[in-house]
Structure 1
Amino acid sequence: MYETTIQLNAINDVKDFVNKVMLFNYDIDLVSGRYAIDAKSIMGIFSLDLSKPIKLQAHTDDPEKLVESIGKYIVK
């Protein structure tokens, strides 16, 4: 499993992020506090507190293409 932290600042960021993660066949979750939601769900993402960075968990051993795709949202 691959873990990183992301930040989504605007509505368009959320739409773009979901469109990108939908292209991957493995599960990708966003974890904020005690809530874990499917990263491919726009409604789920809007239920989170987007003012803080969110932990991303990708259930894959090869996250290279995912990192390339969503790199601008990853918190360094």
Structure 2
Amino acid sequence: MTETLDAPIAAVADAVNAFSDPGELYRVSREAESRVTEGMRAIRQKLVLGLRDQGLTWRSIGELLGGVSPQRAEQISRGV
């Protein structure tokens, strides 16, 4: 699965690395990091909310996510 992520991640890194000004490169790299982080958070939140809508408990959701605590599963549902 990670192989399918290699190309898009490399494309983002290449786009960011195209900036030659050090200050701009730093700012753009931070912006890209922030946007990717926010996008992944939204994906996880949507996933957890969907599982909850299916009637799963926070404990069950946490187990499906690889051993996340029920409290953490609930936090993910709130976008935390």
**Fold conserved (TM > 0.5)?**
no
Task: Identify which of structures 1 and 2 has the higher relative contact order when contacts are C-alpha pairs closer than 8 Å and 6+ apart.
Answer: 1
The higher radius of gyration belongs to: 2
Whose helix proportion is higher, 1 or 2?
2
> What TM-score comes out, normalization by structure 2 length?
0.28
Whose strand proportion is higher, 1 or 2?
1
> What TM-score comes out, normalization by structure 1 length?
0.29
